[in-house]
Amino acid sequence: MNKKNGKRQRRRNLKAGAAAAAALAVLTAGCSGGSPEAGGAASQGSGKEPAKLTNVTYWTGMATQVAATMKSYNEIAMYKELEKRTGVKVDFQHPPQGQEKDQFNLMITGGKLPDVIEHYFINDYPGGPEKAIKDGKIIKLNEYIDKYAPNLKKVLDANPEMKKQVTTDEGSIWGFPFLRGDKALQVYQGLAIRKDWLDKLGLQIPTTIDELYTVLKAFKEKDPNGNGKADEIPYLMRAFTPATGELNSSAAILGAYGISYGFYHENGQVKYGPVEPGYKEYLTLMNKWYKEGLLDKDFAATDNKLLDAKITGNQLGVTVMNTGGGIGKYMNLMKGKDPNFKLVAIPYPVLKKGDKQLWGQIDFIFNGKAASISSSNKNIEETVKWLDYGYSEEGHMLMNFGIEGVSYKMENGYPKFTDLVMKNPNGLPVQQAMAQYARSSWDGMFVQDKRYLEQYAELPEQKESLKVWAEPTNERRMPLVTPNREESGKYASIMSDINTYRDEMYSKFIMGVEPLENFDKYVQTLKGMGLEEAVKIQQAALERYNKR
C-alpha cells in the first residue's frame, strides 16, 4: 500500500476510534434518562393518544453464554427489570443455535412477523435493509427516531461516522443498532494456543506460517497432553458458517495471503478472495495439513459443543476463540482439572518475518446488527420509545451492568460487578454469570461500555490477547456496504449460488475430495455464475458508501 493510502487508512481508524469514544461521552454526559411511559405521549400529527404498549414479540438469536444456563432472554435479570420499569412484557422468539440464518429466512417470508426483529439485515436479507423496507418487511425509522427516540438521536447526531454506518445509501435508518462505545471493544477474537504445551516441548510462540507448522507437527508427534495416546488435535479451523463467523476461515490463516473469504478492497479496488492465486496457496496448505493430521479431520462438522469437548478433553492445541467465551471460559473450567492448562493469544501468522498483518477480527463501531420494527407491528411509536430506552443513561447502565445493588455497585463513580458475577456462587464462568444479568458481553440495542470489558477480561492472558489480536491493520476490509434497490435482486441471486458453491468447494479442496488441479475450473465456474457482475455491484456500493 502506498503512503497516501496508508495515511487514509490511519485517518479512518482514528475517525472510528473517535466516534466510539464520542458515543460513550454523549451517554455519560446524560441523555434523557427516565423510563419510557407506555402511551405517555400523543402521536404527533395523529390527533389521538397512541395505544398503551404492554406486549412485544421479539425475534433474535440466542448468545451461547445465555444458552449455557437459560432457555430464553426472558430469564435475564436485565429484561425482568426492564419490564418493571416500562410495563412492557417481551415474548422472545429464539431460533435454534446454528440455524439463525435459515430460520430468519423462514420467518421473514412468512405472514405475520414478530413486532421486533433483531438481526443482520445487511448480510442476510437479499438486497440488504433498504430492500427489506421496499418489500414491506420492516419500517424506515428516520422520522420515528426524530420524534420519539431522543436518546438514540442524540448519540447519532453527535457521531457522524457512527450515523454513516447505520444509514443506507438511500438515507434510511432501518433499526436500533448495537454500537461499540470504545475502540477497545472492537477486537475480541483471534488465534489461541496451549501455552503449557509449548513450554513442555520447549517451543516459542509461532509468528509465521512455517513456525506454526513446526509447532503443529510437534503437538501431533510428541504427546504434549502426556496421556500416552496419539489423540492430540493440533489445529482446528471450523468451516465458515454464519454461526461460526468469517474469521475462522479468512483472517486466521488465509489473511497471511493478503485476501479474505469474500469481497475486500485493495486501494479502493474491489476483489473477491476465493478466486485469487493466494486462495489456491491457502487451500494447498490446508490440504497438506489435513493429510498430515494437523488439521482436525472433523473441521467441517465441529459445532460449539464439540469444540468445548475437544478443549476440555485436553486434545486441542490451536484454534480461534474469543477472549471471554474462549480464553476466560476454558481457563476457568480447567482450573480444577489441569492446573497447568494455559491458553494465550498468538499473532496472526504471516508468510515471512516482518510482513504486515493485514487481516484479523475487528468489529465496526456498528457490527451490522440492529433491532428492526416489522410491518406487522401495530404500535410503532411506542415500540420506538421502548427501544430508545437502551440508549438513555439509565438504560445504558441496565443493559451493560444489570441491576445496581445486585450485579454491580458504584464505587467512586465506577460500576463494579459484584461477586454474583465475578465469583459466582454456583461456579459459573464470568461470561455465563454476567449473561444472567446484562447483555454487555455480546450485543444488543445499546452503546457498549468498555468498563464491562475491563472486568470481563480479568485474567492477564485475556488482557494480553486484546493487544495481540489488535495488531492487524484490516486496511483491506470492506465497510458495511449494500447494493441499491436496482442492484439488489440481481446481486442476491448471483451470490446465493456463489456462496453455496464456494462453501461446498472449500471443504472439498481441503479434504482432497476435489483435486486442487481443478482450481482454475472452479474459478471459471464462479465467473460463470456472475461473479464479475457481483464485483461491479460491490465496487459501486463501496463508492456510494464513501460518499455518504
Model confidence pLDDT, tens digit, residues 349-385: 999 999 999 999 888 899 899 999 999 999 999 999 9
Site of grid cell 430506552? 389
Q: Report the pLDDT value the prediction gives residue 251, as an integer from 0 to 100.
A: 63
Element containing residue 194 per DSSP (H, E) = strand 189-194
In Å, what is the CA distance from 173 to each residue of 315, 395, 489? Answer: 47, 21, 21
Site of grid cell 472492537? 186
Mean pLDDT throughout 447-465? 94
- pLDDT at residue 394 above 80? yes
Q: Report the pLDDT value the prediction gives residue 542, as an integer from 0 to 100.
A: 96
Around Cβ 421, how many Cβ atoms within 10 Å?
26
68 Ramachandran zone, left/alpha/beta (phi>0; psi -120 to 50): alpha
Label residue 464 by pLDDT band (50, 70, 90).
very high
pLDDT cut 70: percent of the chain above it: 89
CA-wise closest residue to 347 among 193, 186, 475, 207: 207
Q: H helices within 135-221, ranges in order?
A: 142-148, 150-157, 160-165, 195-201, 209-221
CA-wise closest residue to 150 among 31, 26, 22: 31
Q: What radius of gyration do the chain's Cα atoms show? A: 24
Q: Report the pLDDT value the prediction gives residue 485, as an integer from 0 to 100.
A: 77
Of 3.40.190.10, 3.40.50.620, 3.10.20.30, 3.40.50.1010, the CATH number of 3-30+53-183+365-401 is: 3.40.190.10
Q: Which amino acid is at 85?
A: R
424-456 as b/e, with b when 16 or more CB fall inside 10 Å?
A: beeebbbbbbbbbbbbbbbbbbbbbbbbbbebb
Q: Report the pLDDT value the prediction gives residue 303, as an integer from 0 to 100.
A: 84
Mean pLDDT throughout 23-40? 51
In Å, what is the CA distance from 305 to each residue of 65, 67, 301, 378, 417? Answer: 12, 12, 11, 40, 28
- pLDDT at residue 246 above 60? no
Label residue 14 by pLDDT band (50, 70, 90).
very low
- pLDDT at residue 44 above 70? no
Q: Which amino acid is at 332?
A: N
Q: Report the pLDDT value the prediction gives residue 301, as an integer from 0 to 100.
A: 86
pLDDT cut 90: percent of the chain above it: 77
Query: What is the DSSP-derived secondary structure letter of residue 250?
Result: T
Taking a C-beta distance cutoff of 8 angstroms, is the pair 429, 332 a contact? Answer: yes
Mean pLDDT throughout 314-342? 93
Whether pTM > 0.85 for this model: the answer is no
> Mean pLDDT in the chain?
90
Q: Report the pLDDT value the prediction gives residue 24, as an integer from 0 to 100.
A: 61
- pLDDT at residue 94 above 90? yes
